[in-house]
Structure 1
Amino acid sequence: MSIADILLLFAAGFLSGTVNAIAGGGTFLTFGAMTVTGLPPIVANATSSITQFPGYVTSALAYSREIRADWREALLLGGLSLVGGLAGALILLSLSNPSFRAMVPWLLLAATAIFAAGPLLRPRATFIDKPVGLFGLVGQFATSIYGGFFGAGMGIMMLAVLGLSKGGDYHRLNALKNFLAMVIAAVAIVVFASGNVVGWPQAAVMIPGGALGGYSGVWAARRVPQPVIRALVVMVGLALTVYYFVTG
Structure 2
Amino acid sequence: MSTYLEFIFLFIIAIIGGVLNKTISGAWFIVFPSLIYNGIQPVIGNSTTAMILWSEQIATSEINKRNHEISKKNIQFMVFISAIGGFIGAFLLATLSQEIFKKIAPYLLLFSWFLFAFYHQILIYINSLFEDKKNFKYSHWQLIPLFLLGIYGGYFGAALGMLIFALYSFYGVKNKTNLEALIILILLVNNGIAILVYVWSGLIYWPYATIMIAGCIIGGNLGKKFEPKINLTVVKKILSVIGAIVTLYFLNL
TM-score, structure 2 as length reference: 0.89
- Secondary structure of the residue aligned to 1:151 is coil
How many aligned residue pairs are there? Answer: 247
Partner of 1:184: 190
Partner of 2:6: 5
Partner of 2:146: 140
Query: C-alpha offsets along residues 88-140 of structure 1, whole Å, 9 cap, x if unaligned?
Result: 11111122223212222211111100111222344869995423325531221
Partner of 1:56: 57
| Amino acid in structure 2 at the alignment position of 1:234 | S
1:170 corresponds to 2:176: yes
1:211 CA displacement: 0.8
Give the distance between the partners of 2:60 and 2:71, measured in 1 at CA.
16
Query: C-alpha offsets along residues 163-196 of structure 1, whole Å, 9 cap, x if unaligned?
Result: 1114121110111100000011111111011111
1:231 CA displacement: 1.4
1:245 CA displacement: 2.3
| Amino acid in structure 2 at the alignment position of 1:211 | I
Give the distance between the partners of 1:145 and 1:132, measured in 2 at CA.
21
Worse-superposed segment, 149-158 or 231-240: 231-240
Residues 136, 166 of structure 1: alpha-carbon distance in 2 compared, 3 angstrom cutoff = farther
1:84 CA displacement: 0.5
| Contact 2:63-2:184 within 8 A present in 1 as well | no
| Contact 1:60-1:175 within 8 A present in 2 as well | no
Partner of 1:40: 41
- Secondary structure of the residue aligned to 1:222 is helix
Give the distance between the partners of 2:208 and 2:63, measured in 1 at CA.
27
- Which residue of the other structure, out of 152, 157, 170, is the alignment partner of 1:151? 157
- What are the residue-to-residue correspondences of 1:202-221 with 2, within 5 Å? 202-221=208-227
Gaps of at least 5 residues in structure 1 are: none
Query: C-alpha offsets along residues 134-157 of structure 1, whole Å, 9 cap, x if unaligned?
Result: 553122111111110101110100
Residues 122, 21 of structure 1: alpha-carbon distance in 2 compared, 3 angstrom cutoff = farther
| Amino acid in structure 1 at the alignment position of 2:72 | W
Residues 104, 24 of structure 1: alpha-carbon distance in 2 compared, 3 angstrom cutoff = same
Give the distance between the partners of 2:244 and 2:5, measured in 1 at CA.
24
Worse-superposed segment, 218-227 or 203-212: 218-227
- What are the residue-to-residue correspondences of 1:232-243 with 2, within 5 Å? 232-243=238-249
- Percent of residue pairs identical: 23
Give the distance between the partners of 2:93 and 2:196, measured in 1 at CA.
13
1:244 corresponds to 2:250: yes
- Secondary structure of the residue aligned to 1:78 is helix
Partner of 2:166: 160
- Secondary structure of the residue aligned to 1:61 is coil
Give the distance between the partners of 1:113 and 1:220, measured in 2 at CA.
27
| Contact 2:60-2:217 within 8 A present in 1 as well | no
1:118 corresponds to 2:119: yes
| Contact 1:55-1:214 within 8 A present in 2 as well | yes
Give the distance between the partners of 1:121 and 1:161, measured in 2 at CA.
11
1:209 CA displacement: 0.7
Residues 41, 65 of structure 1: alpha-carbon distance in 2 compared, 3 angstrom cutoff = same
After superposition, the CA RMSD in angstroms is 2.3
Residues 13, 240 of structure 1: alpha-carbon distance in 2 compared, 3 angstrom cutoff = same
1:239 CA displacement: 1.2
| Contact 1:162-1:173 within 8 A present in 2 as well | yes
| Amino acid in structure 2 at the alignment position of 1:30 | V
1:20 corresponds to 2:21: yes
